[in-house]
A and B are shown apart, each in its own frame.
Chain A
């Protein structure tokens, strides 16, 4: 069993999970959602094995090129989703979230992303790299869940206002509170991984903890947007629509930090 086989099996398991979640959305049978959840966890386990195997084969952390880092992001996203769903029983978010994960997995397996493990250039050989990337992506995975629940909030909210909310739909209030909880988990992780570990690693490798390179600036922008989310909510009592929109923007900023900066802007970080 090699890494790419395991990756493919995990991929198909996620697709299976998505199918069950979608059937649940239309069929409304609890068992279908449970199947979806079980398959997500199964996929996560297989995916974990794939990542471990990759680490052993290449001898370095499994996120040094775009294929690896996408695969790791998909893994973190599933992990975050499994935790949140386990805690808040948010089955209806399942189908949409699985679509994002499948998108990431598909992107990772596309021929555009060379999957070969390449030897690491000297600057990338550091355990701070492990810490920096893994904790950041994990934080971003929670932002991704908040993104999905915020969009669902906006839909639920407008339906409730028009009186067209369906029987058994998740209340907008719950979606709002789950979004907040996701940000509350994602924000400390993102701060620690993205900003703190990033600064430590930059200092070890280049001798400056901060050099205003576009990737750093975009992490900071993402961080500012979520700081805005927290303060407007905790101190000014903004909730609902405005909160949801800020959370959506925050995730888009994180996404741009991850993809956009590498392809559209140039800087020190553009190895990935």
Chain B
């Protein structure tokens, strides 16, 4: 037990671990992670099975990397704890008496003689130190007055705050790893989706895409209503970077898509030889309508959002995005097919018209309406609160450690014939130059108005 404690309180171990973890982390950025076995085999040949076996292909979640992080945490914890007690006592229950001979061995020290009775001289020294914001303590022992002055002593504990913050972050990481969950939800506009994990239902009231003037996507927004049982709890619009948070569950705007199940088309029918003829049609898939000439019936029989003619010569959709929407309409007169035509919303002049008979219709595909669905990622991660708490401590500790330099001045006053012999010395592990200046100024002040 003792051995383990000693071993894990060693800073040498910390340095060794830091070097190993750093090298391992570099390895993980050189070997691509999470690829297929075939890809590894192609890249690394005979080495591939070894890499996979050693989990180099999922390095940051491998047992040995986790093991290293665990050892490192243990190291930090033990190291911080074993040093804490002595450090605390040194800071808050210090020994006040000091021997002049010991003070003289400090790196920063000085001596002088004061012309005043011992007690007044001590008062004066203490007052000067206090005026420089030192906290002072005094002790009298065998005719000698010792003064211990401390400043910004909390700065000693910056490193401990950092280490505790770090441990909390690592603990948060473990909690996230074990109890975090994520799931993609797809909700159509106007519909409600049950989310059993969170015990609620979500309704997508509105989905909206904002564009820049250039046409690039600026933002996606989903207006969501949280429903518990029958009750609407809250309505909030989420967008990228602005998730909805509800009872520990987070809902992120992730992606979106179109639901091509029930599109509606707005089509303008015209006649080449009759400028006055213009029928505004509104059709769904499989719907028929009679034109105002009273004899031509038009039906929308097929639709693709991203028109392409495949290698087999058949019409297909390249993607689910409305990049090149096209609708196939068919015209009949007295039950007999007159024409069939693909019309394109992006290319109004371009049409593929197969006509069985002479006719002079032309069509413009003006608009499609379809519902969009919103891709929302649901996540619950009880680890994050630890992460943020740890981050706050980590940052706070760093600023304390580096910008709140502690210092200590020890003074011994002794009667030496007519005068008082003053021996002063100081310790500051950080900011030595500034401290030296301050120390010199204090001695200077004491000498000046003796």
Contacts and interface: CB of A to CB of B under 8 A. Distances in A.
Interface of A: 119-123, 125-126, 128, 177, 184-185, 187-188, 191-192, 195-196, 199-200, 203-210, 212, 214, 217-218, 220-221, 224-225, 227-228, 231-232, 234-236, 261, 265
Interface in B27-69: 28-29, 33, 60
B18 A196 contact: no
B22 A221 contact: yes
A26 B292 CA distance: 94
Given A212-B28, A221-B25, A236 B15 contact: yes
B242 interface: yes
B218 A207 contact: no
Among B14, B28, B240: residue with most chain A CB under 10 A: B240
A211 B328 CA distance: 46
Contacts of A203: 384
Contacts of A217: 25, 28-29, 60
B379 interface: yes
Contacts of B218: 119-120, 122, 125
B402 A185 contact: yes
Given A188-B399, A199-B387, A224 B219 contact: no
A187 B15 contact: no
A209 B175 CA distance: 13
9 contacts: A125-B241, A126-B241, A185-B402, A191-B394, A196-B394, A205-B240, A207-B381, A228-B15, A235-B11
Given A123-B240, A205-B241, 18 more contacts: A119-B216, A122-B219, A122-B239, A122-B240, A123-B241, A125-B219, A128-B241, A184-B430, A185-B402, A187-B398, A204-B243, A209-B176, A209-B384, A209-B387, A221-B25, A231-B14, A232-B15, A236-B12
B395 A218 contact: no
B1 interface: no
B310 to A, nearest CB: 31
Nearest to B405: A184
Contacts of B432: 177
Contacts of B403: 188
A120 B214 CA distance: 12
A212 B15 contact: no
Interface in B370-429: 377, 379, 381, 384, 387-388, 391, 394-395, 398-399, 402-403, 429
A190 to B, nearest CB: 10
A191 B240 CA distance: 25
Interface in B204-262: 212, 214, 216-220, 239-243, 250, 252
A200 B395 CA distance: 13
A203 B377 CA distance: 12
B11 A119 contact: no
B402 A184 contact: yes
B160 to A, nearest CB: 13
B341 to A, nearest CB: 38
Contact of B29 (A199, A231, A265): A265
A224 to B, nearest CB: 5
Interface string B349-378: 000000000000000000000000000010
A206 B60 CA distance: 19
Nearest to A185: B402
Given A228-B18, A231-B11, A231-B15, A122 B25 contact: no
B240 A218 contact: no
B263 interface: no
Interface residues of B, number: 48
Contact of A212 (B60, B217, B388): B60
Given A122-B241, A203-B384, A228-B19, A210 B173 contact: yes
Given A122-B218, A191-B394, A231-B14, A218 B402 contact: no
A225 B22 contact: yes
A214 B25 CA distance: 9
B25 A224 contact: yes
Interface string B174-191: 001000001000000000
Contacts of B430: 184
A214 B33 CA distance: 10
A2 B395 CA distance: 38
Nearest to B172: A209
A205 B254 CA distance: 9
Given A119-B218, A122-B218, A205-B241, A192 B18 contact: no
Contacts of A196: 391, 394-395
Nearest to A129: B241
Contacts of A177: 432-433
B309 interface: no
A207 B379 contact: yes
Nearest to A192: B395
Contacts of B26: 221
B187 to A, nearest CB: 17
Contact of A204 (B60, B241, B387, B395): B241
B383 to A, nearest CB: 9
A201 to B, nearest CB: 8
B386 to A, nearest CB: 11
B21 interface: yes
A236 B252 contact: no
A187 B25 contact: no
A209 B240 CA distance: 15
A199 B384 CA distance: 10
Contact of A231 (B18, B28, B217, B377): B18
A206 B182 CA distance: 11
A122 B220 contact: yes
Contact of A227 (B18, B240, B387, B402): B18
Nearest to A197: B391
Contacts of B19: 228
A220 B25 contact: yes
Given A188-B398, A206-B252, A231-B18, A125 B11 contact: no
Contacts of A209: 176, 384, 387
Given A231-B15, A235-B11, A212 B241 contact: no
A200 to B, nearest CB: 8
A140 to B, nearest CB: 16
Contacts of B28: 212, 217
A191 B242 contact: no
Q: Please provide the 10 A-B residue pairs with the shortest distance between their CB atoms, ordered closest to farther.
A: A122-B240, A188-B398, A119-B212, A212-B60, A126-B241, A235-B11, A196-B391, A207-B379, A214-B29, A224-B22
